[in-house]
Amino acid sequence: VAMELWGYRAMGGSCLRPFSCELGPLSRPDGSAAFLQGDTSVLAALYGPAEAKGNRELPERAALEVLLRPKTGLPGVGERSREQLLRRTCEAVVLGRLHPRCAVSVVLQVVADGGSLLSCCLNAACMGLLDAGLPLASLFCGVTCALHPDGSLILDPTTRQEQEARAVLTFAIDSAEKKVLMASTKGACSMEEMQQCIAAAQSAADTIFQFYRDSIRRRYSKS
């Protein structure tokens, strides 16, 4: 196990699909980002801190809402459940107490789904939050791992790899302490396998955070 773990660490970003990001593609929202991971693409639009409507208003912190729009059709139960996962993750890093009685809405539009959709949504949401300039305690990123029936571990799987996999695990990792903010699993896996996936996700997170830094640096190089 230790050997394999090292293998993934040493490979670092090489096992992730190529990713790219565009900051501020939309003019109307307060912050926006388009995140691409291989064939998966998500567009995030962020509004806020804006005035909260009616019962949504919280007296001591900002009310965060996440809306996940599928590529076609209306959002269903699956989208609702993902929205909650994304909302909780965002709430963990956003310093909402600095904007009481305000509302922050994150709208995520799936442009293309080629696997690892939830991790792409997480990355798009984080870049959107960065672009909007909301106060954050740290950053987060999403990493999806797929466990193959033969026991091998695939980071950032494609739709096909996800279908073949025995279990698919998605983690949100924060940048400050590399802690797991959110975990979502589909399928069965052992305790050791889960630990192995977390370790692989944590090492992949470094690559993603470095990518975040490079994207932001590129954006600010013009000013």
Helix, strand, coil percentages in the chain from 3-state DSSP, rounded to 5: 40, 30, 30
206 makes contact with another protein (CB under 8 A):
yes
202 makes contact with another protein (CB under 8 A):
no
Q: How many CA atoms lie within 13 A of 99 on its CB side?
A: 19
Number of residues that bind another protein (CB under 8 A): 39
Rounded to 5°, the CA angle 173-161-121 comes to 35
Cβ contacts of 206 within 8 Å, gap of 6 or more: 12
Residue ranges in 166-195 that form contacts with another protein under rule CB under 8 A: 174-178
Among 9, 12, 135, 179, binds another protein (CB under 8 A): 135
| CA 192 – CA 200 distance, rounded (Å) | 12
Cβ contacts of 195 within 8 Å, gap of 6 or more: none
Among 34, 43, 68, 93, binds another protein (CB under 8 A): 93
213 makes contact with another protein (CB under 8 A):
yes
Residue ranges in 1-40 that form contacts with another protein under rule CB under 8 A: 29-31
Q: Which stretch binds another protein (CB under 8 A): 33-41, 144-152, 156-164, 210-218?
A: 210-218
Burial profile 69-86: b = 16 or more Cβ within 10 angstroms, e = fewer: bbeeeeeeeebeebbebb
- 57, burial (CB in 10 Å: exposed 0-12, middle 13-18, buried 19+): middle
Among 6, 80, 95, 160, binds another protein (CB under 8 A): 95
Residue ranges in 101-130 that form contacts with another protein under rule CB under 8 A: 101-103, 130
Site string for another protein, 49-68 (x = CB under 8 A): xxx-----------------
Q: Which stretch binds another protein (CB under 8 A): 42-50, 77-85, 159-167, 193-201?
A: 42-50
Q: Which stretch binds another protein (CB under 8 A): 67-75, 137-145, 156-164, 181-189?
A: 137-145
CB 120 within 8 A of CB 40: yes
Interface contacts to another protein, rule CB under 8 A: 29-31, 48-51, 93, 95, 98-103, 130, 132-139, 174-178, 206, 209, 212-213, 216-217, 219-220, 222-223
